[in-house]
Chains A and B, each alone.
Chain A
Amino acid sequence: MSDADSLGRSVRLSFRHRNRLYRVGLSASAVVLVVLLGFPLYWMAANAVRTRLGVQDGGLLPAPDAVTLEQFAVITDPTVGQYLINSTIVTVGVVLTVLAISLVSGYGLARFEFPHKIAVARFLLLGYMFSPIVLSIPLYLIWDRLGLLNSYLGLILALSAISMPFSVWLMWKYIQTIPESAEASAWVAGASRWRAFVDIVIPQTKPAMIANAIFAFAIAWGDFTFAYVLMPNNDATTFPAGLFRLLGSQWDASWAEFMAMSLMLTLPPLVFAFFLQSYLLQGFKIRAL
């Protein structure tokens, strides 16, 4: 019973005072979090639209005469433009590969009974243990011999593989929640298994597909390790590895230009975070299993 004499009651405050204390604590926490999380993002955006001199002056708000959009012209630089193209191709490739494979495999796990099914599904979870740095060291020579070094295909394969454990499990669990009766009536009407899968099951998996697409996007868009090791050629590499090389090179760019490039890389994640957060959360719920 002494255990029950916990915080709220041992400190003898009336309900109104305790409630007020809680509200103040909650609001203060929210403010601290917004500052901690938001300030680096704000600072990036604020300095992406400043002139070089404006960056040196600092100041929390950019002075009106120091505001400019000219830093974004950095995108017309052939090197930077190539990074963006490479990143886009690789990201689209990974998202499509992950969607296709997770739909087929998730459907198979949900609808077919076969020996060792659970064991195989749990084996897939070992994919969480694939560490990009551990894999990329041996992959470097393997890809070199197969001619996949510096190729989009090589990077797409590597990034799709590390997205698999999450996406296949999500799709498996999601398709289990879709009743089989609609499919069965399509079979009765003469539809093939494949037709029923394409016309009836796939449209119903939309939320799971969105969650999978965002996670695959996050992995492919943000990947540094695989791109850095497996795309050693500067023309072939994606934005994260390219930006890192620019930072260490003698390239004459100011912080303002780096902030402009960072801002462009951040915009897609920001849009997804704002509009699609409920899908992401749903995905995390299933991931937590």
Chain B
Amino acid sequence: MATDTAGDPPPHDSVSSPRWHRMLPESVWGWLSITPVLLLYTIVALCPITFAVVASFHDVHLLNPEWTFVGLSNYAEVFQIDRFWGSMWRGVLFMIGSTLVQFVVGVWMALVIDSLSRTSRLVSTLVFTSYLVPTIVVTVVFEFMLDPYDGVVHAAGSSLGLWNNFLLGNTDLAMAAVVVISSWKFAAFVSLFTLAQLRSIPDRFYEAAQVCGATRWEQFRDITFPRIRGALAVVVFLRAIFMFNKYDVIWQLTEGGPGSATTTMPILAFKETFQMNAYGRGNAIAVIMFLVLFAGGVLYLRAMNPSQEVHT
């Protein structure tokens, strides 16, 4: 009888080293499994960034396949044009303004949804919708509402004396309008991020605090805030980075205008590349933006150390 089973591996052994394990070592399987992602990153990110660096050292015209090596002169040019510093300044203004509005409104929405019992489904559905709705829908609807002839928000604003003509064509107010409209779309990100944290605080903490006679403010200060502080820091950081690189909402609303009133760095990069046909210079701006992002990304990983196992 014993000889019958001798050919088969004992059951215990097959658990610790099943068949797949004998063909290739575990580390090879591990690397194979993440190859598709790494391949995708290489094609869509690493190659283009390398390509951008190379292109930024050349004078490239989009319709002309000839590349002329010009060294650092694209960068020298970029730093000299006053459009660049103006765009940098407006980009930072847009980043700080919209991050601030999104943060305040987003956290407020999260706290309200978390405290509501009956109507919270309505509010949270609206928040989720504004997160999932395409940006173009938001901008088309706001352009309609700001239309000087048929726009309901335009009618309200002008009858209150806030503005007279098309709001997005107003040099002084266009930036503020773009900040508000983009915050309508992106405050939801802050809300959902915060709400996920709020929901993970156990109810018994609040019940215990109520038994001890803590006011709502004290509950917020001593229970809620310490537990969402970390997430709030992360979300401010992510929003600031994303808003600094925001292209679509600004381009759809104003194309950087009127004049250059809403031309931020991404808008400038697009204009230089595809409207001024200075592909090399556009890539130089893209490389500068990437370096800003990369520095931000490294700081994020250093500060947050997001590699712990998940807690269940």
On whether the beta carbons of A37 and B130 are closer than 8 Å, the reply is yes
On whether the beta carbons of A255 and B217 are closer than 8 Å, the reply is no
On whether the beta carbons of A255 and B26 are closer than 8 Å, the reply is no
Also in contact, A113 and B30, with CB within 8 A (given A26-B112, A138-B48): yes
- Complex CA–CA separation, A122 to B306 (angstroms): 8
B147 CB contacts on chain A under 8 angstroms? 255
B-binding residues in A (CB < 8 A)? 4, 6-9, 18, 22, 26, 29-30, 33-34, 36-38, 40-41, 43-44, 47, 55-56, 58, 100-101, 104-105, 107-109, 112-115, 117-118, 120-122, 124-135, 137-142, 157-158, 160-162, 164, 168, 173-174, 176-177, 184, 187-188, 192-194, 214, 217-218, 221-222, 224-225, 228-229, 239-241, 243-244, 247, 255, 258-259, 262, 265-266, 269-270, 272-274, 277, 280-282, 284-289
Also in contact, A141 and B150, with CB within 8 A (given A129-B294, A157-B43, A288-B231): no
On whether the beta carbons of A108 and B184 are closer than 8 Å, the reply is no
- Complex CA–CA separation, A218 to B312 (angstroms): 27
- Complex CA–CA separation, A14 to B297 (angstroms): 49
Q: B30-63: contact bitstring with A at CB < 8 Å (1 yes, 0 no)?
A: 1111101110110111011101100100000010
| Minimum Cβ distance to chain B for residue A24 (Å) | 13
- Complex CA–CA separation, A34 to B120 (angstroms): 10
Question: Given known contacts A6-B218, A188-B14, A225-B247, what 17 new A-B pairs fall within 8 Å (CB)?
Answer: A37-B127, A37-B130, A37-B184, A40-B145, A108-B34, A113-B30, A114-B30, A124-B41, A125-B301, A134-B289, A135-B48, A192-B20, A266-B133, A273-B125, A277-B125, A287-B196, A288-B234
On whether the beta carbons of A55 and B216 are closer than 8 Å, the reply is no
Q: Which of A4, A104, A115, A131 interacts with B27 by CB under 8 Å?
A: A115
On whether the beta carbons of B140 and A247 are closer than 8 Å, the reply is yes
Also in contact, A30 and B294, with CB within 8 A (given A133-B270, A134-B245, A273-B132): no
| Minimum Cβ distance to chain A for residue B118 (Å) | 10
Also in contact, A272 and B132, with CB within 8 A (given A30-B116, A115-B27): yes
On whether the beta carbons of A161 and B43 are closer than 8 Å, the reply is yes
Also in contact, A108 and B29, with CB within 8 A (given A128-B238, A135-B45, A221-B134): yes
Q: B284-308: contact bitstring with A at CB < 8 Å (1 yes, 0 no)?
A: 0010011001101100110000111
Also in contact, A138 and B125, with CB within 8 A (given A8-B215, A176-B310, A188-B14): no
> B152 at the A/B interface (Cβ < 8 Å)?
yes
> B225 at the A/B interface (Cβ < 8 Å)?
no
Closest to B144 in A: A255
> B266 at the A/B interface (Cβ < 8 Å)?
yes
Q: Which of A184, A262, A269 interacts with B141 by CB under 8 Å?
A: A262
Closest to A101 in B: B36
> B96 at the A/B interface (Cβ < 8 Å)?
no
A-B pairs with the 8 shortest C-beta distances?
A: A108-B33, A8-B215, A114-B30, A112-B30, A273-B128, A269-B132, A161-B44, A222-B134
A-B CB contacts (within 8 Å), total count: 323
On whether the beta carbons of A37 and B279 are closer than 8 Å, the reply is no
On whether the beta carbons of A121 and B307 are closer than 8 Å, the reply is yes
B234 CB contacts on chain A under 8 angstroms? 288
Also in contact, A9 and B134, with CB within 8 A (given A117-B30, A193-B18): no
Closest to B215 in A: A8
On whether the beta carbons of B145 and A112 are closer than 8 Å, the reply is no
Q: Number of contacting residues on B, CB 8 A?
A: 110
B contact patch SS: helix
Closest to A37 in B: B126
Also in contact, A224 and B36, with CB within 8 A (given A26-B115, A132-B247, A134-B290): no
CB under 8 Å from chain A, chain B span 52-105: 52, 55, 62
Q: Which of B14, B37, B116 interacts with A124 by CB under 8 Å?
A: B37
Q: Which of B126, B145, B286 interacts with A34 by CB under 8 Å?
A: B126
On whether the beta carbons of B141 and A287 are closer than 8 Å, the reply is no
A176 CB contacts on chain B under 8 angstroms? 309-310
Closest to B120 in A: A30
> B138 at the A/B interface (Cβ < 8 Å)?
yes
B109 CB contacts on chain A under 8 angstroms? 33
Also in contact, A138 and B126, with CB within 8 A (given A6-B221, A120-B34): no
- Complex CA–CA separation, A40 to B158 (angstroms): 18
Also in contact, A118 and B44, with CB within 8 A (given A8-B217, A58-B155, A255-B150): no
A222 CB contacts on chain B under 8 angstroms? 132-136
Q: Which of B142, B215, B290 interacts with A9 by CB under 8 Å?
A: B215
